[in-house]
Amino acid sequence: EAGVAQSPRYKIIEKRQSVAFWCNPISGHATLYWYQQILGQGPKLLIQFQNNGVVDDSQLPKDRFSAERLKGVDSTLKIQPAKLEDSAVYLCASSLDLDRGRETQYFGPGTRLLVL
């Protein structure tokens, strides 16, 4: 079974530029998560999709971040314009969600973003 795919793996941009990340979850997984992980910290949930609907985006900085999940499969996360504090690893995860409270999340390799 193929894992969660993410691209690009690394990205360096200057502040005020825009950037987009892509995620393809494990086939059949209903829920897709985007996390931001700043160096030395635990992952922070940015947005959670269930199929193609948003169920939680309470921590997404909506003035600059946007995300979509077309057709309930792959997803893109965009930052426009980027700030220095957006430098982090952006992790995508997915889960099957047939058994509430028990589902394991599977993570992609992450995208390391550096904003100069």
Partner 1 sequence: AQKITQTQPGMFVQEKEAVTLDCTYDTSDPSYGLFWYKQPSSGEMIFLIYQGSYDQQNATEGRYSLNFQKARKSANLVISASQLGDSAMYFCAMREGIAQTSYDKVIFGPGTSLSVIP
Site for partner 1, rule CB under 8 A: 31, 33, 35, 41-45, 48, 50, 55-56, 89, 91, 93, 97, 100-110, 112
> Is residue 115 within 8 Å of residue 11, measured between CB atoms?
no
Instruction: Label residue 58 exposed, middle or buried (CB < 10 Å: 0-12, 13-18, 19+).
Output: exposed
Distances (CA, A) of 97 to 25, 91, 104: 13, 19, 9
Nearer residue to partner 1 within complex by CB, 9 or 16: 9
Residue 93: CB minimum distance to partner 1, A: 7
Residue nearer to partner 1 on the CB measure, 24 or 31? 31
CB of 16 to partner 1, least distance (A): 26
Please report, for residues 1, 30, 61, 64, 81, the alpha-carbon distance to residue 26 in angstroms, rounded to integers and kept in the order given: 8, 9, 26, 27, 30
| Residue placing its CB nearer to partner 1 in the complex, 13 or 89 | 89
- Closest contact distance (angstroms) between CB of 73 and partner 1 is 18
Minimum CB separation of residue 42 from partner 1 in Å reads 4
